[in-house]
Structure formats: structure tokens, C-alpha cells
Amino acid sequence: MGKPTGFMEVPRITDAEAAPLERIKNWREFKIHPAEKQQRAQASRCMDCGTPFCHTGHMVSGMASGCPVNNLIPEWNDLIFRGRWKEALERLHKTNNFPEFTGRVCPAPCEGSCVLGVIGPAVTIKNNECAIIDRGWEEGWVTARIPEIRTGKKIAVVGSGPAGLACADQLNQAGHSVTVFEREDRIGGLLMYGIPNMKLDKELVVQRRVDLLAEEGITFKTGIAIGKDTEWTAEKLRKDFDAVVLCCGATAGRDLYIDNRDAKGVYLAMEFLTTNTRHQLDHGFDGTNPALNATGKDVVVIGGGDTGTDCVGTSLRHGCKSVIQLEIMPQPPEKRAANNPWPEWPKIYKMDYGQEEAAAIQGRDPRHYLVQTKRFLKDAAGNLSGLEIVEIEWAKDEQGRFVPKDIEGTLRVIPCQLALLAMGFTGPENEVIEKFALETDARSNIKAEHGTFTTNVPGVFAAGDVRRGQSLVVWAINEGRGAARECDKFLMGVTNLP
């Protein structure tokens, strides 16, 4: 490394952010890159650690440890420190098709396994990655790479989320003709409609990359729901294309079937987030809110994670009356617990952007831990009016399994006119699976081994959440690249794709 003592001399400083009370007034991204001098200083903190766990990409205790796309992190950190930004970009693009996405929305398992994290704050890997690609776009270094030779092979990619786009990008660069089918009106899948604009700008970041992919030769078809569309059937895809790669995601949301679930005002989180982003895009972020909004309402988000945080941030920008989050699990510790050692992902307490914004307005973290919703309440008109909740503790049942048990005397009612269910996803939707006659695993995902990505139907591959279940954007890119490699090998007998 260029500065072996950097980690001892330079404290960790992350990207600056617009103040919470200011940023909730609009839908713009609020992260601010520091000056180049500070960015290079942060890159100098990358140690000459010998074995860089940051880019290993293993699963440890069921969680990602290190970068799933195996980013060459020590190499491009060193190049940033030396001011060789274009070379850093070249290194970054070797493993990651879309660092502008992961640099914004990835939870950074690389930082959780950073060797420096054993003794102090980890290197700002995520910020450094984002700085490289943003500078690359600003300097005009990211340009169309149009394949010089075409193979004559045609491939259909179903789904335009991160897995589908990564797969399409790789196969196009291999010289195949790729058509991406998307059921929504815009390309991007989760990237376009599942993540709010203040975290990932749709026009300046997502659409910019989609336009580049189109310039490079990829064909995009929107408004086509494979499995439901009467023209583009599974049979037609298999007939018209030499191979099909399914990257449809795991979009079936986990519901909460308790009393009065039919109350007007109870929605799955993704319905709320998608409706909002579509409205903002259709109306040019003009300050208006969609029909499904949180304006003036007491909002309760049931569930945590990134989706829950996005619901909090979106509700605040709508001008909600109040917002709280209910989590059935206990509050994480401030530091790693003994059973959560490095290099596992650190399961520790932290406030994401939505919680920070809520705290700035309401005076406290909006999350309430160890709370279970017992039933929804509705008025005479069928509108949601409140939630009946109870505090719980986790105890073993007769079979030795940990289950939630109500704490006596804690049952109470809280006001609520909008409840958002952010409890994760149960798996992929069934239409595509049924139409292609695909086998599924015990979790209802398409059955295909990681590494081969082959289904029980010859010439049909599966990658991303539709194969592995709900996961990270960076895992989706990993799988899209892997499926492209195996698809290329299937078509050509050999492959040069990484």
C-alpha cells in the first residue's frame, strides 16, 4: 500500500449528508462526496493486511462476509490514494457491472469483514467505491463498449433488476443478442421502483446506465409480464431464443393475516414505495404526493430492514403526522456480541437515514422493539383507525423452539391510519414458474444450483432472488454474472466470461 501507516494516522470519516430536516423537503440524493484530498486520505486507511477478507464474498453464519462480487478493494483503494482514478475505475469494473448502484444501496458486507475492523473503525469502502464510479461518469470515462463481433445467438432475459441487467450486460459483451423483458413501464426492477429516489436517483443514476446498455446493443421491452402476457409466452421465448435467463426476483411480499386485515389503509410496503416512485417520476418530482400517501396520517411500519427504513423516509417526505416502526426482535447491542465475531456481518444497533430523519422531527428513534401486532382496528366506514399491539418476550415452547410470548399487562391500542407491512418476501411469484414447468426448492424458489444456474428445463437458467430468495443487490449482480457465464458456455461450448 502507498501509505502503510494510514490506518493509524487518519480517522474514519464517511461522506457528508444534507441535514435531516432539510433533505426531507425533497426527493434528491443527500450524500455528499468529500474533496479529493479527504477521499484519498480515507483510501490510505486500507491496510497492507496480507489476507484481505473484504473481497472474499463468503457466507458466514448465513450472512455475507466480504464482497459477493469479489471487488478488488485493496487495489482500487491504493489507486485512489495515489490519485490514479481512471485505473481505479478500470479495476472496479472488472468485477462489478454497476458500482454506482452498490456504492449507494449496498449494506457493505465488505466493511463488516475489513481487517481494520478488528481493532477500529473499518475503511470507508462503500464511499470509496461510489466516489470512483461517480468521478468516472463526471470525467466521461464511462462510455459505450459495443461488441465488434456478434455470435448470432439470441438470449431472452426476464426481469430487469440488478441480476437481469448484470446478466444482459455480460452476455451482450460476449457478442450475443440480448433482449430484456420487464413487466413494469420502466427498466430497472427493484432499482427503479423498489428503492426511493433519495437513496438511488432514477434519472441521473439508474436511467443513465440503462441508456448506456441500450447504446451497447441490448434491447429492452417494457410492459410485458412473462407468464401472463398472451403474446410473449414461455413457449414463444423458448422457440424464438437460443436460451432464456429468468431474473424475476422474489416479489411476493410477506403479509400479516390478523383480524381486520381488509381495513382500508393496510398495504404491503412495496405497493406503497412503488406507487410513490412512479408518481414522482411521472410528475417530475413536482412536490405532489400520490393518491396512496402518508400525508397527515399516523403511520406504523411493521418490520425493519432497508424496506422499513424506506417507508419511514418516504412517509416523512409526504408530511405524515407521526411514524413509528414495530420490530418483533430485540434491539441489537451497541457492539458485537460474543456470538457475532468478526468477520461475520456485525449485528449491532445503528440508525439508518429514515430513523435519523424521524428522530430529528420526533425526538427519538421511531423503532419499538419486541412488539407484536395482534389486530388491526377499523371504523364504521372500514378505514384503518388503530393497531392493537403487545410487548413480547422470546421463550422456548414444548418442542424447544423460540417463540414470542405476550407479556401480561402490555396490550394496548395505538392510533394508525396507514399501516405498511415491511416484513420481507416469501419468494417469487408463481406465474413464470408454472408456465415454464420449473422445479422449485423447499422455499418456493426456482431450483437451480449456484455456480451452474441451470433449471430442470434445458436452455433455461435462473439467477438472483428468484433462485436464492430475497437478498442483496450485490448478490443479484454476482448471480447475474454467474448465470451469464454458464449460459455462454451452454451456447458456445466454452466461455471467456469471468
More confident residue, 2 or 225: 225
Asked whether the predicted pLDDT for residue 271 surpasses 90, the reply is: yes
Asked if 487 and 380 sit in the same domain, the reply is no
- The answer as to whether 497 is a domain residue is no
Rg (CA), the chain: 23
Asked whether the predicted pLDDT for residue 58 surpasses 90, the reply is: no
Asked if 395 and 280 sit in the same domain, the reply is yes
% of residues, the chain, pLDDT over 70 = 100
Which residue, of 139, 171, 189, is where some domain finishes? 139
Asked if 467 and 386 sit in the same domain, the reply is no
pLDDT of residue 438: 98
Asked if 260 and 384 sit in the same domain, the reply is yes
Asked if 235 and 284 sit in the same domain, the reply is no
Amino acid at 314: T
Q: Cell numbers for 111, please give them.
A: 466493511
Asked whether the predicted pLDDT for residue 1 surpasses 80, the reply is: no
Asked whether the predicted pLDDT for residue 57 surpasses 90, the reply is: no
Containing structural domain, residue 33: 6-139
- The answer as to whether 364 is a domain residue is yes
Q: Which ranges constitute the DSSP H helices of 216-344? A: 234-240, 269-282, 305-318
Asked if 210 and 265 sit in the same domain, the reply is no
pLDDT tier, 211 (very low <50, low <70, confident <90, very high otherwise): very high
Asked if 406 and 295 sit in the same domain, the reply is yes
Q: What mean pLDDT do residues 144-158 have?
A: 97
Close Cβ partners of 337 (under 8 Å, ≥ 6 residues apart): 347
Question: The CATH number of the domain where 357 resides is what?
Answer: 3.50.50.60
Torsion of CA 290, 27, 198, 179, to 10 degrees: 60
On average, the pLDDT of the chain sits at: 96
pLDDT of residue 326: 98
Asked if 263 and 390 sit in the same domain, the reply is yes
- The rounded distance, in Å, linking the Cα atoms of 93 and 86 is 11
Asked if 300 and 393 sit in the same domain, the reply is yes
Asked if 265 and 391 sit in the same domain, the reply is yes
Asked if 302 and 316 sit in the same domain, the reply is yes
pLDDT of residue 2: 73
Which residue, of 139, 165, 183, is where some domain finishes? 139
pLDDT of residue 219: 98
User: Could you report the per-residue pLDDT of 349-388, keeping only the tens digit for each?
Assistant: 999 999 999 999 999 999 999 999 999 999 999 999 999 9
For the four alpha carbons of 337, 339, 345 and 351, in that order, the dihedral sign comes to negative
Asked if 175 and 298 sit in the same domain, the reply is no
Q: What mean pLDDT do residues 99-119 have?
A: 96
Contact 487/174 with Cβ under 8 angstroms? no
pLDDT tier, 31 (very low <50, low <70, confident <90, very high otherwise): very high
- The rounded distance, in Å, linking the Cα atoms of 180 and 101 is 19
- The answer as to whether 144 is a domain residue is no
Between CA 360 and CA 418, with CA 472 as vertex, the angle to 5 degrees is: 45
- The answer as to whether 378 is a domain residue is yes
Residue 15 DSSP code: P
Asked whether the predicted pLDDT for residue 61 surpasses 80, the reply is: yes
- The answer as to whether 208 is a domain residue is yes
Question: DSSP of 246-282, one letter per residue?
Answer: E-----EE-----BTTTSBTEEEHHHHHHHHHHHHHH
Q: What mean pLDDT do residues 275-301 have?
A: 97
> Shortest CA distance to 108 belongs to which of 142, 71, 76?
71
> For the chain, how many structural domains are there in total?
3
Strand duo 243-246 + 460-462: pairing: parallel
- Judged by DSSP in three states, 384 sits in strand
